[in-house]
Amino acid sequence: MRVPLPLARRALRWRSVGLRFALLYTAAFMVSVGAIGWLTVRTVSEALERQTQRQTENEAGALVDEFNDGGRPDLEAALAGRFANRLVHMRYALIEADGRVSLGDASLLPHGRGNGPVGAASPGGGPSTAVRLLGDGSRVVVADDLVGVREIEAVLRRAFLVALATAAGLGLLTGFLHSATLLRHLDSITRTAEAVVEGDLTRRITQTGSGDEFDRLAATLNRMLDRIGSLLDNLRQVSTDIAHDLRTPLSRLRQGLEMAGRNPTIDAYRRAVDQAIEETDGILDIFSALLRIAQIEARVRQAAFRPLDLSALLLSVGETYLVAAADGGRSFETDIAAGVRVQGDRDLLLQLVVNLIENALQHTPPGSTIRLGLAMLDGRPEIAVRDDGPGIPSSERDNVFRRFYRLERSRTGPGSGLGLSLVAAIADLHGCQVTLADGKPGLRVSVTFPSRDDATAAADGAGTS
């Protein structure tokens, strides 16, 4: 993999998290390799020393057998033969009872002193010796300087030093590559964040499609940026709509006060005050609805979700509007399935249904019929409000959920254009899907709840996020 030079230089900096992690990992790995190497060398060395000791003792025992079988002449002949053959690493000495070395290596005299037979390696890495007492009071000493064992130890040490050096090199190379890869992903995130800070809200983090942790992080951050962009667009739209929609009532309020000032009579002042109160109430209603929508979109009400009987709630609403619709010259019908339960906020769901019914009452002429229904479709509860009024053109159906949006024919009537926006916010909070369809004639608005499995999965995801 070819790493760009600036990125490579940054990857070698001590402050690089990837490099520091690799160095620590390499150090730990080298300590482990070193400990294993030392233990291996020590174990092999001790095994070889024990084997050499047994060979030394066997050799000493063979010389004792020569003495026992043929006496001193056979022993001396056997030693002479061994001196002639020069067995590798083996040294011999025959020590007389008076402490003289009569045959062999005089340097073995210290090993042959003492009472009784001895067979042990000398401390401090000295030769492995075997001492045997003969019948005439003399002693035969056999020693091995362990030269072969020390050579094997040296080979093993060199092998593990090479392994340590290789581990260090691979660890540093791995750290460099890991740090460079980490920096490449972080640079992509940093550049995107800097672009967003500078005002380019269209920038998104590039995903590699590998599905690794960085790809998942990039996808999450991109969704966050999409959400932020949507909220900012919504904020700009709301600011524009507020300025546009409040201009009219404020203008009427100012005009009424101005007219009362030009005609300073008690009746004029009363009319101006009444009109000002009415216009102010309308403005307050607009801000109250906006604050309610903002609170719902912030999802602070999800903590109040409880299991509730949706059938009972809609039956109660239906009984209330049966009389209200009749007073306005309209018919109101209900078709509520029994025993439908959902998880949600009772007050908000009541507000949702009320807004849909009020919207139908406001935009249908006298003599119209409004129907409120509740049914189970494929395991998903669905609320439906249907009327046989003029309906909404298909080209306008996506727009009516925007704040302050009103159809051209409704602009002269009462209302702020926030009713369906509030419906959309409540439905989104509950994971519902709102659909506007042609009622043939009129309009059919359906609010479809998620299935029980989908709602459980969504709740679990919200709880672990």
Domain boundaries, the chain: 1-198, 231-297, 300-464
pLDDT in tens, 175-220: 777 777 777 777 888 888 888 888 887 888 888 777 777 888 888 8
Whole-prediction pTM? 0.48
- Would you call 334 helix, strand, or coil by DSSP? strand
Q: In the CATH hierarchy, which top-level class contains the domain 231-297?
A: mainly alpha
Report d(CA 100, CA 97) in Å as an integer.
Answer: 7
* pLDDT of 230 higher than 60: yes
pLDDT at residue 192 in the model? 86
Greater model confidence, 142 or 127: 142
* The predicted structure's pLDDT at residue 88: 58
Average pLDDT over residues 57-69: 90
Q: Is the pLDDT of residue 11 over 50?
A: no
* Topology, domain 1-198: Beta-Lactamase (3.30.450)
Q: How many CB atoms lie within 10 A of CB 206?
A: 14
What is the mean pLDDT of the segment spanning 341-352?
89
Query: Which of 108, 165, 115 lies closest to 137, judged by CA?
Result: 115
The more confidently predicted of residues 148 and 449 is: 449
Strands (E), 410-450: 433-438, 443-448
Who has greater pLDDT, 458 or 384? Answer: 384
Burial degree of 405 (CB within 10 A; 0-12, 13-18, 19+): middle
Q: What is the mean pLDDT of residues 145-173?
A: 83
CB 383 within 8 A of CB 373: yes
Q: What is the pLDDT of residue 464?
A: 43
* Cβ contact 70:78 at 8 Å: no
- Phi, psi at 252, each rounded to 5°: -65, -40
Q: What DSSP designation does 198 have? A: T
Nearest 5°: phi and psi at 343?
-105, 120
H or E element in which residue 40 lies: helix 17-85
Confidence of residue 35 (pLDDT cuts 50, 70, 90): confident
Token couple for 205: 């983090």
Q: Left (φ > 0), alpha (ψ -120 to 50) or beta: where does 366 sit?
A: beta
Question: What superfamily does domain 300-464 belong to in CATH?
Answer: Histidine kinase-like ATPase, C-terminal domain (3.30.565.10)
**Domain 231-297 shares a fold with domain 300-464:** no
Triad 25, 28, 31: Cα angle to 5° = 150
Interval 85-93 mean pLDDT: 74
Q: How confident is the model at residue 20 (pLDDT cuts 50, 70, 90)?
A: confident
Peptide bond between residue 414 and the one before it cis (omega within 30 degrees of 0): no
Confidence label for 7 from pLDDT (cuts 50, 70 and 90): very low
Interatomic CA distance for residues 239 and 243, integer angstroms: 6
**What does the pLDDT average to over 378-388?**
90
Strand, helix or coil at 403?
coil
70 or 406: which carries more pLDDT confidence?
70
Q: 111, exposed or middle or buried, with CB in 10 Å at 0-12, 13-18, 19+? A: buried
Taking the C-alpha atoms of residue 357 and residue 345, their distance in angstroms, rounded to an integer, is 19
pLDDT band at 242 (very low <50, low <70, confident <90, very high): low
Residue 17 pLDDT more than 60?
Answer: yes
346-362 vs 310-327: helix crossing angle, rounded to 10: 30
Which range, 105-119, 121-135, 262-276, is most confident?
Answer: 262-276
Angstrom distance (rounded) from CA 105 to CA 143? 10
Write phi, then psi, for 95 (nearest 5 degrees): -105, 125
